[in-house]
Chains A and B, each alone.
Chain A
């Protein structure tokens, strides 16, 4: 089977895709033009016009091939089993450059990722990993992973977050979210493995009461179940279980922790006759970059817990919560191109449709490492209460900005090990003692300091300790000249003096 290669600049993209759809996929010209207009152009419009495309035919895409053998091949109609892979470069590349060793580094620098075209009609856009650098709008921080691939027989690495449009038959939004999460984690951590559509179907076989394909979507609990089967300690949060404020803080906290969160959006509570009922799954992978103006605009004392508000009032504190930032989030939606930015209040604004515009984020499915036993709600409550009860000294009328997130101790240690201005005592403790694989970190700062990415105190909690009695999750606290660290064996607290100077805060997300 011979492979055809196409090379085209952005301005000739329409001709390129017309040639692929008509000549390679044998689609009638009228249909091909519609597919380009409605399925490929929305992506092209988001990409920079400096993009240059290299297309390779007869590409075996693992996801489509799995759907082909398990579903499409069992139909009477003929479906091709191979796909076309489109690689994206920043600027022109020539065929001969792929045969010159001295051009390899230059090509690698220009490589922006790839997307697959599937030969199944309308749902033509398949698996893709495209660097945010290829997009016109990319002022955001996001979860990123590296994906080994090839272009014209040369090995490359695509960097970004995986995405695919649903095919509507073997995978809908729900299965696509599961696939995407597994694709991301399996390329980032050895603890997980990639899953194909048939594996997702198999995992849910015992809890499904009807046929599974053609897919009609999945219940939130089924998504959580599948993620659990694939190695996660999944947690579900519903807006109706918490207050709006707490639910949105939890959402923000997990995003800040660099965990891609499956988000259930729906308009099912809207009681209007002229709207279609919608329930959809997307993934939130980050947020737009935070400006000084947004930090300055943070509201003070934005809590709905009576105890916290009472303590704030009696001590005349000004506490700002980083999780209250009114930033836009970065969503990966299988109906739209990757990296859509939208506010939590209008997650489906890009649909430009009255029914979709009524959708709000109502559910979160958080894929946690299975040994993270202490979740965001309890962990953050513990850290704030540790401050307010006086476990660490808090001055009256103190201004405090708290930034709370989950991270791996490995990443956090890497962050502080080479940081020269990190308080030396804290550095020695954190680098010289064993830590849990995952830790909750509360960085204590002020508005002025955090604008410069600095903090002046911190609380570190053990994410593997679900028992919050007798300050068991506490690993270390340091603020206002006092350091507390429970003795490893007796757990006795002996406060120490500590000199704290401002140090750099840690960021779980990759900033573009």
Chain B
């Protein structure tokens, strides 16, 4: 007999319960904005570190 199974859909319909207390009243937007700001700074640092990293690597010949 043919069976079609979608466990994620079943989960959504039967077991999944919203948690209205968490990330409510616009708190989610506040957190997302904060995370975005943080990741902008991480990217800025990453570009600087990567630049230094590449300059350092360009001078080394591995021979031994």
Contact at A220–B60, with CB atoms within 8 Å? Answer: yes
Q: B53 touching A238 by the CB < 8 A rule?
A: yes
**Which residues of B sit under 8 angstroms from A468, Cβ to Cβ?**
39, 42-43
> In the complex, what distance in Å separates the CA atom of A335 from the CA atom of B42?
39
Interface string of A217-228 (1 = CB under 8 A from B): 111110110000
Q: Are B35 and A495 in contact (CB under 8 A)?
A: no
Q: In the complex, which residues of chain B have a beta carbon less than 8 angstroms from the beta carbon of A216?
A: 61, 63
Measured between beta carbons, the chain B residues less than 8 angstroms from A497 are 17-19
Cross-chain contact of A279 among B9, B18, B41, B62 (Cβ < 8 A): B62
Interface residue tally for chain B (C-beta within 8 Å): 42
Q: Which residue of A lies closest to B8 (CB)?
A: A432
Which residues on B sit within 8 Å (CB–CB) of A307? Answer: 38, 41
Task: Assess the B56–A362 pair: CB atoms within 8 A.
Answer: yes
Interface set, chain B 11-64, CB cutoff 8 A to A: 11, 15-19, 22-23, 27-28, 31-32, 34-36, 38-43, 46, 49-58, 60-64
- Chain B residue at minimal CB-CB distance from A391: B31
Q: How many interface residues does chain A have, given as a range?
A: 35 or more
Segment of A184-192, A318-326, A338-346, A379-387 engaged in the interface with chain B: A379-387
CB-based nearest A residue for B21: A495
A220: nearest residue on chain B (CB-CB)? B57
Beta-carbon contact of B62 and A241 below 8 Å: no
Query: Is A389 interfacial (CB 8 A cutoff)?
Result: yes
Interfacial chain A residues near B15, Cβ < 8 Å = 425
Check A385 against B38 for contact (C-beta < 8 Å).
Answer: yes
CA distance A224 to B15 in the complex (A): 49
Nearest A residue (CB) for B58: A221
- Contact A496:B18 (CB < 8 A) given known A363-B56, A382-B39, A432-B6: yes
How far, in whole Å, are A385 and B18 apart by their CA atoms in the complex? 24
Question: Given A241-B53, A470-B32, A495-B19, A217–B42 Cβ distance below 8 Å?
Answer: no
Min distance, Cβ A356 to any Cβ of chain B, angstroms = 9
B7 within 8 A of A: yes
Determine whether the beta carbon of A281 is less than 8 Å from that of B7. no
Interfacial chain B residues near A428, Cβ < 8 Å: 7-8, 10-11
Given contacts A240-B56, A429-B11, 13 further A-B contacts (CB under 8 A): A174-B63, A220-B60, A221-B58, A266-B60, A377-B42, A378-B39, A391-B31, A428-B7, A432-B8, A432-B9, A432-B11, A470-B36, A496-B16
7 A-B pairs, CB-CB below 8 angstroms?
A172-B64, A391-B35, A425-B16, A468-B39, A482-B19, A496-B19, A497-B17
B residues apposed to A, CB below 8 Å: 6-11, 15-19, 22-23, 27-28, 31-32, 34-36, 38-43, 46, 49-58, 60-64
